[in-house]
Amino acid sequence: MSTPPDLRLAPLPGAEETSEDTQRHVLAEFLRGLDAAALADKLVDLADRDHDISLELHQWRKSSELSDEPAELEALISETLSPGRDFISWRESASYAWRAEAVLPLLQRARDQDADAAVTLCLHALRRAWEVLSQADDSDGDIGDLCKAIGEQWVFALQAAGPRPVGFGDTYLQVRLDDPFGCFDEDAAEVAIGDVAMTRYRRVLADRWRAAKNAVMAGRAQHAAQLANRKGRATTFGMSMERESRLLTLERLHLEQLEKTGETDEALAVLREDLADAHSCSHVVTCLESHRRFGEALAQAEEGCKAFPGDWRLEDNLVRCYERDGRALEAFVIRRGQFDRRPGVESYRQTLQAGRAAGQDAMALRHALLETVKALEVQATDRPVQTARFGIPGVAPKSGGRDVSLRAEILCSEGRWTEASALVQSPAACQDPVLRTIAMHLPTSHADQALALLLRVFDNAMRQASSPYRGELALAGEIGQRMGAERRADWLARLRVEYKAKRNFVRDLPAG
């Protein structure tokens, strides 16, 4: 009888042995010294009490009795990969993957016996693993790793078997379409498959892409006509989404092959055939840039921005082209427009950088950008809102001062911690994460201001806190460390009174 495969990693040479390693070694020595009959009886007893152990032992028995017939191997592979349940939960996925790894030596054994048969068996195992993955919560990626390991075995089998016949091109296309996340090395597989099968693959792929493209274009035309007539809106949209998804996959694979075979103009023709959205235009720009066709990239970026004004991605493409051509002023105008439309820390940084390149006065520009944010704060404070109860337009009740969160974030991004602290003082409103960031970075000379900010954050957090209060308790501990012993004891005592209804919180507060 052959020994079961041990797929766990052994400790690295020279690595310090842990207590767990020691216990495992002692157990192994004990088991080796047992009588075979006694050991067999114990294993059967364990199998009776544990379904997974029983499955693994039965698979070990079957693999030891296995003949060289591919049909028998296929049956055992299917059994080994069977989940044994309708759905594998997150807690069960690691156990399943560990047990199912026993398929790997079976695939290697098949390759050693008959590489051609192993290609088919490995693909069978890969598809079976994909089925399991589709009915599992694999949040930790254990089953995904198993799929990759089987995919690696498939590539090894292809390499051992040599170039495939022409019809394998159709098989390979279906594998690429079914592969959920890239479970094998496509480049290595395609080299192993050989020119004959790959030529067939490319031709079938191009035909499938063309058919899918035509179907999508026809579907869009039909959808537009039905929308104009106000008929069939939902049904047509659903069918279109399914077609679009299939087309995206085929187009990605088709472009991949055109790039690999150096057919750049053909790839660009595919991309330019349908510039119906900003993403498509941006894809053309980046493709042209990747082939150093910068003049065409600039023209395409300008054309895209005219067709889809205000699209951030296309504007970024155009800025990149302008900067490459030394047209710093035009790049700055775009960045400034982006900031005015959607102020943020990143757009602020980009606008300042573009302004410096264009020769703008950095301090004046910085002041102007911050004034823009300040003006938006005023508008947000006075903006009419719908009252929750009656739906009547009115002015929002002021619960405090203006929300200065963005200006404070900008100051934080520049390391201006004391300025940020001054800005967020009451009655100004500011988001808690920003307040906490400021407090964590204030110098020791501003310890009182930092403590006051953390207390604001704590009070806000406690208004909506619920058990088990981990974050709130950690913050309470952090605040307590910034207080002297007497003040800390007094503050904790007040917390126990104020939040006595939150019993778990009070119970877990520090002693004082």
**CB–CB of 281/275 below 8 Å?**
yes
What amino acid occupies position 363?
M
CA distance 269 to 155: 32
pTM comes to: 0.72
β-bridge mates for residue 88, sequence order: 136
| Secondary element (H or E) of residue 401 | none
Please tell me the predicted confidence (pLDDT) of residue 63: 58
Please tell me the predicted confidence (pLDDT) of residue 369: 97
Please tell me the predicted confidence (pLDDT) of residue 72: 83
Listed in sequence order, the residues at least 6 apart from 271 whose beta carbon sits closer than 8 Å to its beta carbon are 255, 280, 283, 284, 287
- Find the length of the chain: 512
Residue located via tokens 């047209």: 327
| Sites in the chain below the pLDDT cut of 50 | 1-10, 12, 15, 232, 234, 236, 384-399
**CB–CB of 275/292 below 8 Å?**
no
- Torsion, Cα 89 90 92 94, to 10 degrees, reads 150
C-beta atoms surrounding 439 within 10 Å: 25
- Torsion, Cα 189 194 199 200, to 10 degrees, reads -80
Report how far apart, in Å, the C-alpha atoms of 421 and of each of 245, 399, 401 are.
49, 20, 15
Long-range contacts of the stretch 500-506 (C-beta < 8 A, 24+): 502/462, 502/465, 502/467, 502/469, 504/467, 504/468, 504/469, 505/465, 505/467, 505/469, 505/472, 505/473
Helices marked H in 261-344: 264-272, 278-290, 294-307, 312-324, 328-341
Exposed e or buried b for every residue in 283-319, given b needs 16+ CB within 10 A? bbbebbbeeeeeeebbebbbbbbeebeebebbbbbbb
Listed in sequence order, the residues at least 6 apart from 320 whose beta carbon sits closer than 8 Å to its beta carbon are 289, 301
Please tell me the predicted confidence (pLDDT) of residue 1: 36
Please tell me the predicted confidence (pLDDT) of residue 400: 58
Please tell me the predicted confidence (pLDDT) of residue 391: 34
Q: Between helices 142-161 and 186-193, what is the axis angle to 10°?
A: 20
**CB–CB of 284/268 below 8 Å?**
yes
CA distance 247 to 251: 6
Please tell me the predicted confidence (pLDDT) of residue 236: 47
Domains of the chain by residue range: 35-65, 468-512
Tokens of 368: 């102007």
